[in-house]
Structure 1
């Protein structure tokens, strides 16, 4: 359209031909000589006003570039001018410019995006207020000048309690030592000022014993000299990532176990054979020392077997059996140890009503032995082991195993399923990883609650595998 103009004097015909776009005749100092109706309505300025008053920083740069080069070309394109429209909205415009050296004036036609004409200011405020992510605006001095409604959900704070406060106050809620909060804030601000953006994840306790993770993304807006901070709850994603890390650890254990089995088992068998031969004729201290060596070799073999059990794929043998009957049989195995250590076993739901499941009885037996063994080792003489089997919602059973032992710290609970992690002097750190892997492999789950000095409770969830209408007698003997 501008290419059809022979000189600036024909701008009047341009206004008549195209009244859809804002259009002005402007002097090179920015003073508007003429403006059509669309321009005056959109930008609330007109004849004799200065165009530069509604240009943002990058718009001023584009205008200055146009002035410097206008003698070389008559027609130019001013891309992405940021202008202030009616209602103080920022609008991104592409601008066609035709310059006449005769009058030292230019005709500017502005191509506006549809959003500038369709979305009123109150809708922008509504989008900010009800956004799914916590969003806050922070000035260059670190004071929060606005925040949306998500602040109450994530931090249990009202908007009025946050606006006007320094953003450092939120840093103290994160899982960071208070003495380091200021240092962490300064480090993040330096990165933000250097690169214009920063992204990191923080952990915090919204409520006692409730851990959440927040992904924080901050950017700097040079036009308004403000920081935009967005926070997203990424707790589920972080938990999934940690489970993947844990799975990777188990895979590493499997590779290590295969190598160790190959390298150690043969020489260990040879050692055991010679020790047994020597024990036949040994007397006195020699016999005593050989007995110690034999015990340690057996312990080494037990560790190796646990590693192989954790890593080696085994054949799945699924059968129908009573979970209640199986639990009772495992408790019979543990009864001598319980009597010797004065542990009382309180086993609820002895009727085993409707506890038929379809699963791998051998693996579940090993899981129960590990759980019961850990509970016994955690208790002093006179301790009580309480078991309760219940029908859960849907098609599963929940077995609760509670001891009156010394309990565990939050750090121990966090790491208890990691291979080789143990708090016992002679522990291998492989029993509970086996429990977790086995239960998840059978479609079940494991949950743990513990407090130092107050005992530990394991909850094992066993899927029934849709045998709701099973009519097999509950006295069925588990394999």
Structure 2
């Protein structure tokens, strides 16, 4: 190796090991070598011209004066050198120049102001762990190379258990629809290979009570030959979207229900009148048949009333009343049916004397009747209906738990019980629970449900207090 080769090798090594932006260039400005810090900051590569970054002729004059006529090497410092670091962005830096007369090249080290200095690699590694999404780095064979610590909070999995695993096996573990899931996975993979990027929303579940939705984006990093997967928990957003869709379906059904009910009621009123008129003179089998017709007409009227209740907005008089007292009154109505069907009612009111709310008592009475009636119909003789009323710790609402020991519901039934006209009863209309949900939401409350086949069903109703300001202040004064 001659002296020129040795000099070039030493200068090249100095460029790569420098912690500042550093380059090896010819004196005409042609870049020969760069380090990563320089490339990241100035977006220039070998064969680009470094002098194109200079913002003034004075700076160019200073640069060309460095060559001079001296032999050997020369070390110079250019203070306040104005360089372009982006479109219309100027940076005043200090350039340390080591010029070699032997090969006509120079090593330029740039010391940038703090605002323009690149972060050390350790900062990027630390930031990788703090990103709110799950970030997975995956090789071209589908093996997980690394994953940030967010995986513990979102997937409840340790980082170490994922590294080295196949991303396909992880996808298969959480996807609930195995057959369709495999087809979707192949489609995602095909799209990724074709376009270099794919984005989709997927439903995963650890168990039926732990369902989550994730927005997943995968892109190919050509520079490092790996895939970057971003996983964001969008469960709350997806649930809100589904609720909006459900509200839309209820609105559509409500409009349809009102229209149908009004169209049917007029001819049905006429039929009832003629049936009642014929009953006064009928005897024998005719009277029997007319009684059946009258019974069915009453049933039709009951269905129409339920449809109209579902279609109307929640109107009526709001007042201050005791929720505990209202529940007790509804249970008094249901007691004869409970005794006839040998059903035991276990009623726990933890705050009977202090369960005052401001709401629509008539609407809530109908809600409770619907729920209790459904619970009775789901149970065999000897069943137990357990009711428990409690106040939330923050005092903003009351929680009523309605639990039966009936036959329970399947996952499919549980998923669809609030859809209009969905019913598992031979003579059911499928409008009772949609009315319960709509009424509770209109009054600012909420309905939750859980069920297990063979073990019964539990409804949890949340009733907001919503006390009127003046009445609340009066109560506080009288208590104090």
Q: TM over 0.5: same fold?
A: yes
How far apart are 1:276 and its partner, in Å? 2.1
* Pair 94,247 (structure 1): closer, same or farther in 2 beyond 3 Å: same
Check the 8 A contact 2:351/2:390 in 1, yes or no.
Answer: no
How far apart are 1:371 and its partner, in Å? 0.9
How far apart are 1:180 and its partner, in Å? 4.8
* Pair 180,241 (structure 1): closer, same or farther in 2 beyond 3 Å: closer
**Helix, strand or coil for the counterpart of 1:261?**
helix
How far apart are 1:317 and its partner, in Å? 0.4
Check the 8 A contact 1:168/1:182 in 2, yes or no.
Answer: no
Give the aligned partner of residue 445 of structure 2: 444
1:284 equivalenced with 2:288 (yes/no): no
Give the aligned partner of residue 17 of structure 1: none
* Pair 370,311 (structure 1): closer, same or farther in 2 beyond 3 Å: same
* Pair 226,272 (structure 1): closer, same or farther in 2 beyond 3 Å: same
How far apart are 1:106 and its partner, in Å? 13
Give the aligned partner of residue 304 of structure 1: 304
* Pair 443,177 (structure 1): closer, same or farther in 2 beyond 3 Å: closer
Q: In the TM superposition, what are the counterparts of 1:22-171 in structure 2 within 5 Å? A: 42=20, 46=24, 50-51=32-33, 117-171=117-171
1:385 equivalenced with 2:385 (yes/no): yes
* Pair 275,350 (structure 1): closer, same or farther in 2 beyond 3 Å: farther
Give the aligned partner of residue 321 of structure 2: 321
* Pair 380,275 (structure 1): closer, same or farther in 2 beyond 3 Å: same
Q: State the distance in 2 between where 1:60 and 1:396 align.
A: 59
* Pair 292,93 (structure 1): closer, same or farther in 2 beyond 3 Å: farther
Q: State the distance in 2 between where 1:470 and 1:389 align.
A: 25
* Pair 329,296 (structure 1): closer, same or farther in 2 beyond 3 Å: same
**Helix, strand or coil for the counterpart of 2:131?**
coil
Name stretches of at least 5 consecutive residues in structure 1 with no aligned partner.
Answer: 1-30, 68-73, 78-91, 96-104, 473-479
* Pair 318,94 (structure 1): closer, same or farther in 2 beyond 3 Å: closer
- Of 141-150 and 155-164, more deviation after overlay is shown by 155-164
> What TM-score comes out, normalization by structure 2 length?
0.75
Q: State the distance in 1 between where 2:143 and 2:472 align.
A: 60
**Helix, strand or coil for the counterpart of 2:386?**
strand
- Number of residue pairs matched? 408
> What TM-score comes out, normalization by structure 1 length?
0.75
Give the aligned partner of residue 368 of structure 2: 368
* Pair 115,220 (structure 1): closer, same or farther in 2 beyond 3 Å: farther
Check the 8 A contact 1:93/1:110 in 2, yes or no.
Answer: no
- Of 121-130 and 330-339, more deviation after overlay is shown by 330-339
Q: State the distance in 1 between where 2:295 and 2:109 align.
A: 90
Q: In the TM superposition, what are the counterparts of 1:177-326 in structure 2 within 5 Å? A: 177-206=177-206, 209-326=209-326
Name stretches of at least 5 consecutive residues in structure 2 with no aligned partner.
Answer: 1-7, 55-83, 88-103
* Pair 350,167 (structure 1): closer, same or farther in 2 beyond 3 Å: closer
* Pair 206,468 (structure 1): closer, same or farther in 2 beyond 3 Å: farther
Give the aligned partner of residue 476 of structure 1: none
Task: State the Cα RMSD in Å.
Answer: 3.7
Q: State the distance in 1 between where 2:354 and 2:454 align.
A: 35
